[in-house]
A = this chain, B = another copy of it.
Amino acid sequence: MIKVGIVGGTGYTGVELLRLLAQHPDAEVAVITSRSESGVRVADMYPNLRGHYDQLAFSVPDSASLGACDVVFFATPHGVAHALAGELLAAGTRVIDLSADFRLQDADEWARWYGQAHGAPDLLPQAVYGLPEVNREQIRSARLIAVPGCYPTATQLGFLPLLEAGLADPTRLIADCKSGVSGAGRAAKVGSLFCEAGESLMAYSVKGHRHLPEISQGLRRAVGGEVGLTFVPHLTPMIRGIHSTLYATVADRAVDLQALYEERYRDEPFVDVMPAGSHPETRSVRGANVCRIAVHRPQGGDLVVVLAVIDNLVKGASGQAVQNMNILFGLDERLGLSSPAMLP
């Protein structure tokens, strides 16, 4: 039984970790921390967990109790894992960070996008980017895993087959992405209110979003060179879900894109290439650790359109974190992650 700690468990990725781990046969949450809710039982804060975790309460973060865990998940705002990860790693605890702290390999780039100095640049060399479809082998032996962001997961999985095969012009990539509101977290912000985000749709951060450098880094790895990516995120009136609509120029009109995608993901348990002509719905992955993808070439032109959907809280955060844990501990990658999506 893997002894699990969670730092910062009061947000949506925290409660989602608890939901998923409640169904995991080989993991047990021993510690969950929150400064603001210390002493509160998780089932009192999240009534969906009543009947599960009835004894588990939030505690003040404490190195001793966290260091006694086999693995600690950080479900925190950026900056927190920087401060605590080193000590835990030194204690032999593995760290799976759901925040952005270790996603960018370049500390200076991180500092530019997050507006503060990187707090643990010395740990970067050992940080593994936790996208199993790319880095499964490195994950197996990792000590510190950076779980990819939600937009980056859907967008990379959608672009990778084209880029790895050298088929798309890497300088003209567009990702038009649509997210549910839970991507903004549980913080009490006016823009996330029901009456502000409901019955409306808007683009945001067109000038530049923090997930842009993360996606670009992953795409550069795939092409082995520079990429030109335009990334436009949109806020849409649903709770969960990301829909990435990806545009790439593929000059070779003869290539069988459907076969390419099916082949690339043939052995991936959590990537589903849908039949040709499909339009994946975000609800088809609601609550499930799956990315569903469809690839189109409208009117037979040179512009290829890829549609990729995930649940931002599952494959885009907590589910992918559990998937990483399973790989890390040599378990069946699907443990605790095999429930179908909930529809309707």
Q: State the CA gap A196–B279 with chains docked (Å).
A: 14
Contact A239 B198 (CB under 8 A): yes
Question: Which partner residue on chain B sits nearest A196 by CB separation?
Answer: B344
Contact A341 B48 (CB under 8 A): yes
A116 within 8 A of partner (CB): no
Question: Which partner residue on chain B sits nearest A183 by CB separation?
Answer: B195
A86 within 8 A of partner (CB): no
Contact of A202 among B237, B277, B279, B301 (CB under 8 A): B279
**Per-residue CB proximity of A209-246 to B under 8 Å, as 1/0?**
00000000000000000001011101011111101010
Question: Which partner residue on chain B sits nearest A188 by CB separation?
Answer: B188
* A48-B340, A51-B290, A238-B201 given; A174·B277 CB < 8 A: no
Question: Which partner residue on chain B sits nearest A207 by CB separation?
Answer: B298
Q: Which residues of chain B come closer than 8 Å to A286, judged between CB atoms?
A: 48, 199-200, 342
Contact A12 B203 (CB under 8 A): no
Contact of A283 among B181, B200, B284, B339 (CB under 8 A): B200
Q: How many residues of A contact B (CB 8 A)?
A: 83
Q: Which residues of chain B come closer than 8 Å to A46, judged between CB atoms?
A: 343
Contact of A342 among B234, B238, B342 (CB under 8 A): B342
**Per-residue CB proximity of A182-209 to B under 8 Å, as 1/0?**
1000101110111111111111101110
Nearest Cβ in chain B — how far from A323, in angstroms? 14
Nearest Cβ in chain B — how far from A244, in angstroms? 10
A15 within 8 A of partner (CB): yes
A56 within 8 A of partner (CB): no
A52 within 8 A of partner (CB): yes
Q: Which residues of chain B come closer than 8 Å to A52, judged between CB atoms?
A: 340
Q: Which residues of chain B come closer than 8 Å to A238, judged between CB atoms?
A: 198-201, 237
